[in-house]
Amino acid sequence: MYRRAMPPRADWPAQLDRIGLTYHSEDGGYWREDVAYEFSPQQIDCLESATVSLHRLCVDAVERIIREDRFADLRIPEGWRPRIIESWERQEPSLYGRFDFWYDGVGVPKLLEYNADTPTSLIEAAVGQWGWQREICPEADQFNSLHERLIGQWGAIRGQASSDLLHLVCLDQSDEDRQTVIYLADTATQAGWRVQTLPIEQVGWVPGRRRFVDGRNEPISVLFKLYPWEWLCQDAFAVDLSRSSMLVLEPAWKQVLSHKGLLALLWEWYPDHQNLLPAFCSGPGDCTAYVRKPFWSREGANISIVNGDQVLTTPGPYDAETSVFQQYVSLPAFEGWHPVIGSWVIGDEPAGIGIREDRGLIHGNQSRFVPHYVVKGVSVS
C-alpha cells in the first residue's frame, strides 16, 4: 500500500460536476487527485475478506440483540423497539452500508465503526474515482463494483416491494445529501423503478388513509431516507410509522448496527476476533489508550482520544456522557496524512472501497477523499 503522487486532470472540476459531485471543492478542497493510494491484489483480498466476515457478524448481532433483549445496553428507547423487531422478523431488505477500517497494507484491517444507516461518500467512491482511474491509470484495476451492485440490489428490492414507485428523501440544505439521493435515484431508475426525489420536510401523513404522501399527495409505499433513524424516531410523525405499511430503506433493524454501542457488543460476543478492537460501554477496561465515542455521533464530532496524559477532543452537538470506549490505534501515516478505508457492502456483498485522509487523527467533514487503484495481477471483485 503506497501513497503515490499523480497528475491531476486539467478539467477535473468540470468532470466531477457532470457526475453530480458538485461539492468537490468544499472545505478548502474535499476531492484530491494529485495523489492516489496503490494496493496489491492481495491487500484488496484482505479488505474484502474482513468486510465479508464483519458483515456476517453484524447480521448475527441483530438477531442476538433481539433474542437476548440487549436494547437497554444500546440505550434504545422502549418505544422504538417494536418497530426494530418487526422490521427484522419481516426481513426487510437493506440497500447498503460502509465499514470504516484502520489498515496500513501490512496488518489486519480493524473495524473503527460501521456506517450502517446513512453512509455518504458514495458518488465519489462509485463514480468519481472510477472515471479518474479509467483516464489516469487505465492499465490498473480498482476495487469498485458499487454502481453495478447498487442497480442489482435495487432490482432485488423491487421484486419484494408492493409498488414500483420509489420516493427518495433527504434534508434539502445539504448539497452532498441531495446529490447522493439524485445518484441513488439514477441507479434505481436503471433497475426499473419509477422515482421521485423530494426534501423530507415535504413528506406528509394522512390519518384517514393511514399512509404517508409526498407534496403532490401521491402515496409513498417505498421510501429511501438519507436521514438517520435516531432523528426520525424523535420526529412528531414517528408514531405513525407503526400505522403505515410503508417499506423504509434503510430498514428499522439497521438502527442497532448504526449505533456505536454495537462495537462493545461485538467485542463481548467475539473477543479476540482479528478484525475487532476491544470496546466497552462501562469504561475503557484495561485499555491504556482509548477513543471515547458517543453512541450517536457523526463526522468526527465529540470524539476524544486519550493516550496517557495526552487528550485530544473534538467539539460537537452530541451527548458524550453515553459513550463507547474503543482501544486506540494510531491511524497509519503516509507523508503526514492518515487514511481511513471505507469498505462498502451492497445488500450482503462487498462492493469496493473509498479512502478519506486527514492530517489529524480524528476524521471529520473536512477530511479529503482520495482515489485508489490496484496493480494488476490476480483479478479482484
Question: pLDDT tens-digit profile of 237-295?
Answer: 888 887 888 999 999 999 999 999 999 999 999 998 999 999 999 899 999 999 999 99
Domain, as residue range, for 317: 278-327
Query: Is there a domain that residue 28 lies in?
Result: yes
Summarize pLDDT for 321-377 with one digit per residue, the tens: 789 999 999 999 999 999 999 999 999 999 999 999 999 999 988 899 999 999 986
Q: Residue 116 class from Cβ within 10 Å (0-12 exposed, 13-18 middle, 19+ buried)?
A: buried
Q: Which of 47, 17, 86 is nearest to 255 (CA)?
A: 86
Query: Is there a domain that residue 157 lies in?
Result: yes
pLDDT at 379: 44
**DSSP-H helix ranges across 121-174:** 122-123, 129-136, 146-158
Query: Is there a domain that residue 266 lies in?
Result: no
| Mean pLDDT over the full length of the chain | 94
**Is residue 202 located within the same domain as residue 245?**
yes
Summarize pLDDT for 115-139 with one digit per residue, the tens: 999 999 999 999 999 999 999 999 9
- Please tell me the distance from the alpha carbon of residue 119 to that of residue 104, in angstroms, as a whole number: 23
pLDDT at 381: 42
CA 55-57-59 angle, to 5 degrees, is 70
**Is residue 166 located within the same domain as residue 19?**
yes
**Is residue 221 located within the same domain as residue 284?**
no
- Please tell me the distance from the alpha carbon of residue 118 to that of residue 135, in angstroms, as a whole number: 30
Query: Is there a domain that residue 264 lies in?
Result: no
- How many folded domains does the chain comprise? 2
**Is residue 206 located within the same domain as residue 339?**
yes
Higher pLDDT, 298 or 374: 374
pLDDT above 90 for 316: no
Query: Is there a domain that residue 380 lies in?
Result: no
The answer to whether the CB of 35 falls within 8 A of the CB of 370 is yes
**Is residue 239 located within the same domain as residue 365?**
yes
Does the N-terminal peptide bond of residue 250 adopt cis geometry, omega within 30 degrees of 0?
yes
Sheet holding 35-39, edge to edge: 2-5, 35-39, 372-374
